[in-house]
Structure 1
Amino acid sequence: MDKDEKNLEKVAMLAGEILLTSGAEIFRVEETIQYILSSFGKEAEAMVFSTGIFIHIKGEAIQAKTMVKRVSERTTNLHRIYQVNMVSRQLCNGELDLLQANEQLEHIRKVHQYSNLKKEVSYISVALFFCVLLKGSFLECISAGVVGGILGMVILLSNRLRLNSFCINVLGAFTIGITALIISNYIVPQISSDLLIISAIMPLLPGVTFTTAVRDILNGDYSSGVARMVEAVVTALAVAVGVGTGIALFARIL
């Protein structure tokens, strides 16, 4: 196998891996892989599940090749999906060669799009403005922003400790419940703890995952769609357990 063929296979697999880990729909991942390979004259089949990628490149019996890639980390990053789609289009149109495409894909995979400070600001902003949307008072909106900021710090710390997503969601939701009740009972008694909790849990809710699961099911990718649906349900359950535990603990101890 010559170097160009190896680079082509590497680019196709890398593009699919980034798309899948970024929360892209299954049909998008499969089509992107097939477009990249077919644009270089390769007849291939791609089968993608929520936890892995299978690519079979057809040819003579001795030249046929099957590649497998296990994907264990999944998140939601629409910007990365857009970037990979652009690289794929430019590669298929001849605007990029394989080495340039591989370099850009490696950069997309490794680069940190937002700093920890920007992530912290986003947690504060989401909680604060959802409270505004729910017609909270000035003090309630500020308090929701404080709860969101504490949630952001807990999640960043949990990621550094390499906790799994279920534990991160439980711990984050638990922090929201305890913090909201402390603020509403001891610091600013006239505000609603329910409003603080509802506003602050918005970054934890699996809305995009649920929507992607529905799209996969409608596209006929039932196994991946059901898997993502279960993932969304488990995430929602983790949030409910965390908030419920925080409220129960506060009622018993404080």
Structure 2
Amino acid sequence: MTSVELEIILKAGKILLSSGAEISRTEDTMNYIARAMNFKDLEAYVSNRGIFATAKKADGTEITRICNVPEVDINLSKIESVNALSRRVTQKNITIEEIESELNQIDTMSDYSFFWRLVAYTLGASGFSYAIGSSITDSIIAGIIGLILGVYMCTIKRILNSDVLITILGSILIALFGNLFIHFNIGSNLSVILLGAMIDIVPGVPFVNAIREYSQNNYNTGITLMMGALLTCISMAVGVAVVQS
């Protein structure tokens, strides 16, 4: 194994982790690519924020690489693209140069546009509010608040780096606008409006990944993900409590 080939395997793992993939999927994909390249001496340890990998060269010397994943931004398109690439690699109909080129293309793949993010925030809030029993009016209000939240979430990360503070301020924004709509007699049920809008910042992916890690006996990573998700939920509660009090 050469350092270039190890970098390719690490890059695939980093793209998966930074896009929100679970640890087990990342490890499996890295191992699939390594086996497809006829490597039997790859040892990789994957955590939710980094990858540690060691491999042996043909002359017996070892190569060690550490890959840091400082931020996770959910992108299912990148996860699916890397998975599709790994399937092609196992079929052995692609060269190392092609693998490296495609990984670079996936890594630089454009994220979801600002417009579609706002559409997702709006429909998510409105649809969930209606699903839990709100009226058409209340679900529309929840969608409007979700739209406002979407604008906030898409712009605030350029200013703040603290996820806890971002979540608290987002929850304050939701509760503030929800109470304003009720105050002006636009809407009737504050609870379903707030619940509908709050679904947009519920840490669903960390919860699901934490459960998957527990099922794979990765307890340390599972606890880390679960604690992060619980901290997000606490931050949401703090924001709403500040406004309601």
Residue number in structure 2 paired with 1:236: 233
* 2:193 aligns with one of 184, 196, 207: 196
Offset of residue 59 of structure 1: 4.8
Offset of residue 143 of structure 1: 0.9
Q: How does 1:1-254 map to 2 (within 5 A)?
A: 5-42=2-39, 43-59=41-57, 62-188=60-186, 190-248=187-245
Offset of residue 21 of structure 1: 1.3
Gaps of 5+ in 2: none
Residue number in structure 2 paired with 1:251: none
Distance across 1 between alignment mates of 2:60 and 2:92: 29
Distance across 2 between alignment mates of 1:175 and 1:120: 16
Distance across 2 between alignment mates of 1:10 and 1:96: 17
Distance across 2 between alignment mates of 1:141 and 1:211: 26
Offset of residue 149 of structure 1: 0.7
Offset of residue 60 of structure 1: 6.6
Cα RMSD (Å): 1.8
The DSSP-based 3-state class of the residue aligned with 2:43 is strand
> Which has the higher mean CA deviation after the structures are superposed, 165-174 or 53-62?
53-62
> Which has the higher mean CA deviation after the structures are superposed, 163-172 or 192-201?
163-172
Offset of residue 95 of structure 1: 2.4
Offset of residue 112 of structure 1: 2.4
Distance across 1 between alignment mates of 2:111 and 2:99: 19
Q: Any idea what the Cα deviations from partners look like across 1:134-174, whole Å, max 9, x if unmatched? A: 22122211111111111011111212224332222111111
Cα distance change of structure 1 residues 205 and 243 upon mapping to structure 2, 3 Å threshold = same
Distance across 1 between alignment mates of 2:22 and 2:112: 23
Gaps of 5+ in 1: 249-254
Partners of 1:54 and 1:67 within 8 A in 2: yes
Partners of 2:3 and 2:63 within 8 A in 1: no
Q: TM-score, normalised by structure 2?
A: 0.93
Partners of 1:34 and 1:45 within 8 A in 2: no
Letter in 1 for 2:73: T
> Which has the higher mean CA deviation after the structures are superposed, 48-57 or 90-99?
90-99
Partners of 2:53 and 2:64 within 8 A in 1: yes
> Which has the higher mean CA deviation after the structures are superposed, 43-52 or 23-32?
23-32
> Which has the higher mean CA deviation after the structures are superposed, 57-66 or 80-89?
57-66
Letter in 1 for 2:177: T
Q: How many residues align?
A: 244
Q: Any idea what the Cα deviations from partners look like across 1:117-150, whole Å, max 9, x if unmatched? A: 1111111111111121122122211111111111
Q: TM-score, normalised by structure 1?
A: 0.90
